[in-house]
Amino acid sequence: MNLDECIAGNITWSSLPKWLRSQLQDDPKEYDHHVITYSLQNQLRYDGNLVQQVLRREKKYYERLIGYSQQHHLLYPYHLQDKIVRGLCVTSFVYYRDMLVQVVRAERSYDCLPNFTAADCLRLLGIGRNQYIEVMNTYKNFLTTAGPDDGNTLYEILYDILPQQPVDTITFEPWYIVRIGSVSLDDMEKASDGERELVDRIIDLEQYPIPDRPSGVEAKDVDPLILKRLFQRGLVYIDVPVNDTDRICVPTLEGFVMNRVNGDNRENLLYKIFVSADENTTIMELADCLQIEVALVSQAASLFCRLGFAYKLSDDLSSIKANGRANVDRAESDMNTEKNNATTHDMDSSINTSRGTKKLALIFDSTVTAYLMMGNLSAGLKPHAVTMFEVGKLCDDSLEAFLTELDNLTSIDEGEAKLYFEHATNLREALHFLRAQAALLETDFSGIDLVRGGSLLNLEPQTRVRILKKNYSLVVSISPLTYEDRQAFSAFWPAHIGPPSPEANSPWFRLFVTYLANGGSSLSNPSIHADSSVLPVMMLSRGARISRLPNCFLDCSRFLITVWGHDPVELSASALLSSVNDVLLSSPVLIQVSFLIFFAVKVHILSSILSFGFH
């Protein structure tokens, strides 16, 4: 048990193991310092945690927590709103506005904000990258005009530049809970009759809650205009309840900001849940797979729903319709299936699915997402590529829209864009094929999830096994394996089709496969003719020289040249000799035929398929 685990377990100094005490120089104050730091980093609640025995004043602790979180650009602690909004009058809007003031004053780049923090700022304040640059330029121009700021007071102009209240575009799902915030007598005197009536109703329901319902008022029971006015003035705050039995689905991301990762514990948890969440998995099952407290997983799922990065699947179809992201017909079908098929589940194994059939996991690497984003192939592809990279997964529900974008791509024949187009085309054909297989009755998977290998690698080995065995019956890898990626694979995975090791993507493996396909004969043998069913291949060692094309290459017009440590490059026959001889001065070279004059169509198609599988 390490120090953090002791603090999380509320182990006091007197109960601390001796070896940990010695690490702290037998100083209780040093332990108190670690307790405070750990509590601030993880935004722990004061009540029920060890920090309560170190800091005697609750308000002082929450003030320090807000200051620490703003300084380190952490997400607003929504799970502590009942203490922070009511006790400190710090709403999420005030929190992010003060954070932006600090960042602008320090003249820091917008990229210093972590991804989720930047997304929440955009949602509440409407401040994205372009707006931030405008604010920064306005502030600098003001300082230039006003002269030196000896009193360090001119920064207050930022409060006039930044928004004065949350944006009007914020929406509230019908199942959100409205809670009372910090309300003074002066606020009530300025409120309208409708606003006072709603405030009184919320207070009554919080004092005398209805059994089996969260305290507060559901958003669907409130006039939306009155709710928005009270929220913008900070008189109410919003709870987004996610229970142990709820399920969430992550659609294509909208409003996500790709800045940087912070690396804090809460952010790491968010990314783990991103790639692990499944529409057939409850919050409790997800927590069991991740071996994380259910309360933490519920908080993370609640945050995703609040930010619009996920929606909650429930029996109330209206909440799904209001969200506008879900496929309503599919949701209706899912709910009818749940009601009509109340089957008993196998409780002895945590890796069995709770309902429905398992899916196929198609594992890709970050190169695919980079090509989809950098290639300028289609503006509609970017949200899907961002989702594939940041979430680490593109769910089956989002594949239809993704394939529509891929189907509408226009052919590109020149430059690097051609490479991007070819990768997108190969991915499209693979997805169409696998979806057709999923529709067959004899297939044991009913849907496809695109999963990024790097996101799987961020999970603990046993967690990877639990997630994959729970959600998937088959895993197919379409990306080459690196030595780092190999650590993610396990014999306990579901059936896996793909490169068995990093060597499968090496030039040696391509040479070996061609050798076997030719019945064990050397392909550099002049007796091999162009009408052979095997594409000719030649391996040349560093320092070798070639003065003419071997006989087996005479009927070939284009070649794929692989230099050790680099991606393959396609060359014409006229440029082959000079280019290969230049490279041979410093590296071995593998020469593969990519296009034959005879049987051109057949061979070119085969070459494309091999390229998709191994490059």
CB atoms within 10 A of CB 406: 22
* pTM confidence score: 0.79
CB atoms within 10 A of CB 478: 22
**Structural contact between residues 455 and 393, judged by C-beta atoms closer than 8 angstroms:** yes
Grouped pLDDT means (10 residues each) for the chain, 615 residues: 91 92 92 96 95 95 97 96 95 97 93 95 96 94 76 78 93 95 91 94 88 85 95 95 94 90 88 93 95 95 96 61 41 42 37 61 90 81 93 94 93 81 92 93 90 90 92 87 64 82 77 79 49 74 90 84 85 90 93 65 41 41
The size of the chain, in residues, is 615
Residue 553 CA to residue 561 CA, distance in Å, equals 13
CB atoms within 10 A of CB 39: 24
Residue 516 CA to residue 384 CA, distance in Å, equals 40
Residue 426 CA to residue 424 CA, distance in Å, equals 6
Closest CA to 75 of 47, 35, 42: 42
**Structural contact between residues 319 and 242, judged by C-beta atoms closer than 8 angstroms:** no
Closest CA to 230 of 307, 165, 305: 165
Residue 144 CA to residue 135 CA, distance in Å, equals 14
- The pLDDT score that the predictor gives to residue 570 is 87
- The pLDDT score that the predictor gives to residue 286 is 96
**Structural contact between residues 495 and 466, judged by C-beta atoms closer than 8 angstroms:** no
Distances (CA, A) of 266 to 6, 409, 591: 18, 39, 49
Beta bridge mates, 177: 218, 239
